[in-house]
Structures are given as C-alpha cells and as structure tokens.
Amino acid sequence: MDTGQTGRKEPVVVSFFVPGQPRPGGSKTCFLHPHTKRLIVTDAGGKPTRDWKSTVKQEAVKYFEKPLQGAISVVVFFEVLRPKNHFSSNKKLGRHVRKGAPQHPTVRPDATKLWRAAEDALTKIAWLDDSQVVSQLVSKRYSERTGMDIYIEEVQ
C-alpha cells in the first residue's frame, strides 16, 4: 500500500492462529541402511511433526499470496493447555488454577524446537528463506486452546 507523497510502502503485518498441538522440529535421527550401507538422516519428530507442519502450511496459505521479500520480524506464542493437576475444585469458587501452579509451561519441548518446525513450514509461503527473519520473539504460554498465535511484520 502506497502512502502517497513519499512513495514508500506501508509494512505488511499478518497475524493468524494455527489450531492444533504444536510439535518440535530440528532434531535428527541417523541410521545405517541395511542394504546400501549408507547413512540415512531423518527428522526425529516423525508423523506428528509432519502433520503439524502441514497444518501450519494450510493455515498460512490463507494469508499470503506470495512470500514476503525483505527483512521480517516475528512474534509467536505457542499455546498449550494446563495439566489437570494445575486445577482445584471448590464448591464455592468452582474450578480454578490452584495456588502454587506454575505460571509458565517449563516442560519439553522447548520453545526453540517448536519454532524450528513452524519456521520451516512457513518458508516459501510467508517468506522465501528463513534467513529473512531478523527479529523473533518466541514463547510458550498456557491457554484455553492449543496451537500457535503468530504475528509477522515486514521490517523497513
């Protein structure tokens, strides 16, 4: 979008939510092929990670006609459900988060591994190459839903 007098474009800002169970990426498994005796390297995440990447791609294509060209800033929140043992039930108060329950999910997988899978899935859809991502804030948080909340902005 042109601003008029300056001829400069407004930065593109895209945000969307990807429902589903976020899965990690980046870890590899290596094994020796029994017949060829060659090393085979595969993603350790297997089908759940492939399915998650596919879900991310399916959602992202709704928001991008073509990949962004320049520098990009990303803010992403991986949303996970609280475990049942974080809640207590009280007849007067109802179901609520119990005192002493952690404020943040500090269990595996770590946020950077979750981001690797999503970043790979968004390459060629939101951006041409992940080297374009010059700023990123990645975090995990408890939520009423599971998935990924993402904000992508062109940096001028």
Q: Report the pLDDT value the prediction gives residue 2, as an integer from 0 to 100.
A: 46
Residue in the structure block whose two tokens are 């992202």: 60
pTM comes to: 0.82
Q: Report the pLDDT value the prediction gives residue 6, as an integer from 0 to 100.
A: 56
Q: Report the pLDDT value the prediction gives residue 11, as an integer from 0 to 100.
A: 76
Under the banding of pLDDT at 50, 70 and 90, the label for residue 152 is very high
Domain ranges of the chain: 13-154
Whether domain 13-154 has CATH 3.30.1330.70: the reply is yes
Handedness of CA 108, 149, 2, 128 (dihedral sign): positive
